[in-house]
Structure 1
Amino acid sequence: MKTDTKLDKKITNREFKLLLKPEGLDRHSRIIHLSHLIVAFCQREGVDFFHLDNANTGLRSVYFYDTPNNDFRKNNLILRVRESRQNVWVDDWCEVTLKCRAKSLQGSLAHDPTPDAPYKIRMRLKEEILRGETLGSTRMIYSNNSIMDSVPVDQIFERTMGGIVRAFPDLGRLEIKPDIPVSVVGGVTNKILEACLPLGNIVFGPNVSAHCDVAIWMRSVGEPIVGELAFSYRVNKTNREDTAAHQLADKFFKNLQRAIPDWLVSGSTKTALVYGVEE
């Protein structure tokens, strides 16, 4: 996105993401240290940061579904399930997301992820801002999402392409045989344990306040594989044309990379690690 242009009227969210080295991310003291670095950086940048004093770490299982030939991935589609956990127990309800994620806004609109299901549905069209090839650089991808909340964990969908198409009718355009199986990418042992800790809110303008959090992906407790430092905010009619705030967020993200280089690892997204293919 050029800094002298307005956000596209279709965009509903902006998300800034940095991948973190996994070493030590399962230690709470390390996350607290990172939080202190971010607070100090905000002070230097003249940006307000508000702590979430009583924030708790959320724990959930994350996994992805695809065909044996990764047909979803080849068509820029991601089918993700998040199961919330209370201690060792998995909740009876989960979140199911289908997204079309591409390098262009138009590409993200190539598929309609709207489900045909009796659940609460949220639609999001996100501009995701990632680190570029060098520190202090950026690149964008776009993600057209449907998110179903409170789906019974045992009744997500039938594990065939026909079952998926019944849940997400537009996927019928892929013309994949209905009896093709759809299963967890990498097998059931490839489910990710994710710990997510909200850090606080970063204020870029009167109507632009981003929530900031750290997510840690683990194979199991004590075995982190990658982390993600992210901040994001909603885009609506109140702040869409607040160019100064959006530009400040862009500048903040670039400078943040230079402020914590030893924490960062190259790569695109956490999902890319599961598939082994960059986005």
Structure 2
Amino acid sequence: MPDFPAGPSNSPRDDIHYHEYKILLRPERFTSPKAFKDFWRVAQRVAKHFDVQLEEGPHAFKSQVREVLFFDTPNFDLYNNHFIVRLRTLYREGWPSGTPELTVKFRHPEFERAAQVDVRPALAGQTRIKFKEELLPLEDRLGEIRSIYSHNSVLALPRDVMNFALQNITHAFPAFRAIQQKNDAPIELVNDMAVEEVQVNVGVAHFDHHYKGKTTIALWRSRKLEQPVCGEFAFQCKFNKAEQVHASTADRAKAFHKELQQTAADWVLLGTTKTALVYSLSNKPVVKHE
């Protein structure tokens, strides 16, 4: 096998530069495109109460379709060691558009564990290192928030190079070499499931002091079964340094997130994540990342 060229020089221990607020939504609520607008109206009512501006984009409810695939060993050695391998491809009018995007992430509820993992690839390409704090509802009740820390490497590669990287994932990402069980195991599509993601980029949520987040609503469907898996409302705020985020502004974003959970209680799906739902389709034991 040929050697991979050296990758980019991003710091392996990045500071957090993103807060991504997520609420998983019940799949049965999404029976038509109208569901996106229905949930947006609920969010608008809550935003008004907290003086949060939800700026609606000019193409707010134009659907974007992506294929989402997860890869792992047959025994889920990557996921059980808190790694996720995801391949995402944008489609336009039924055809792949642009370069596929491979994301390798280490996700853990402890900041230090997530920060110390070097997710940089050992191959050339347009790579972004993204360290996020993901904020979600508690597993068992509404109106509170828990955090998961996600250290991500996002790599854009031509399809043939991408396929080669997936087949040789241990060599492509040195962080995987510590997972001994995986070394001789094949990498395959998780649970033979291809996800069709239908997403609307609704606009931007403005909280104050330049703290704002791209806001989306998405539906995940199983292409194999033609069934909805879940929906999701999310907004992601980017910043240079966490200490530059005003405490009152962060508190407002969290208060909005908490109240939206309660106001939209009949929409909310608790106790899981999108990725966990894909892995749960088999009877194999998996480690909870949350």
Q: Same fold (TM over 0.5)?
A: yes
1:251 aligns with 2:255: yes
**Equivalent residue letter for 2:151:** N
> Which residue number corresponds to residue 144 of structure 1?
151
**Equivalent residue letter for 1:147:** V
Once structures 1 and 2 are overlaid, which stretch shifts more, 77-86 or 199-208? 199-208
5+ residue gaps, structure 2, are: 1-13, 281-285
**Structure 2: distance between partners of 1:211 and 1:74:** 31
> Which residue number corresponds to residue 6 of structure 1?
none
> Which residue number corresponds to residue 171 of structure 1?
176
Once structures 1 and 2 are overlaid, which stretch shifts more, 225-234 or 198-207? 198-207
**Equivalent residue letter for 2:250:** H
1:226 aligns with 2:230: yes
Hey, which bits of structure 1, 4+ residues long, moved more than 4 A?
none
Provide the identity percentage.
Answer: 30
> Which residue number corresponds to residue 131 of structure 1?
137
Q: Is the 8 A contact 2:59 2:202 kept in 1?
A: no
Q: 1:226 to 1:177 in 2, by over 3 A?
A: closer
Q: Is the 8 A contact 2:114 2:150 kept in 1?
A: yes
> Which residue number corresponds to residue 89 of structure 1?
95
CA shift at 1:111, angstroms?
2.6
Q: Secondary structure of the equivalent of 2:266?
A: helix
Q: Secondary structure of the equivalent of 1:201?
A: strand
**Equivalent residue letter for 1:49:** L
CA shift at 1:88, angstroms?
2.0
1:51 aligns with 2:53: no
**Structure 2: distance between partners of 1:136 and 1:92:** 39
**Structure 1: distance between partners of 2:267 and 2:111:** 30
CA shift at 1:235, angstroms?
2.3
CA shift at 1:86, angstroms?
1.4
**Equivalent residue letter for 2:198:** A
From 116, 121, 127, the equivalent of 2:122 is 116
**Equivalent residue letter for 2:227:** E
TM-score (norm 1): 0.89
CA shift at 1:206, angstroms?
2.3
5+ residue gaps, structure 1, are: 1-8
Q: Secondary structure of the equivalent of 2:244?
A: coil
Q: Secondary structure of the equivalent of 2:58?
A: coil
1:191 aligns with 2:212: no
Q: Secondary structure of the equivalent of 2:160?
A: coil
CA shift at 1:178, angstroms?
4.2
From 261, 264, 272, the equivalent of 2:265 is 261
> Which residue number corresponds to residue 111 of structure 2?
105
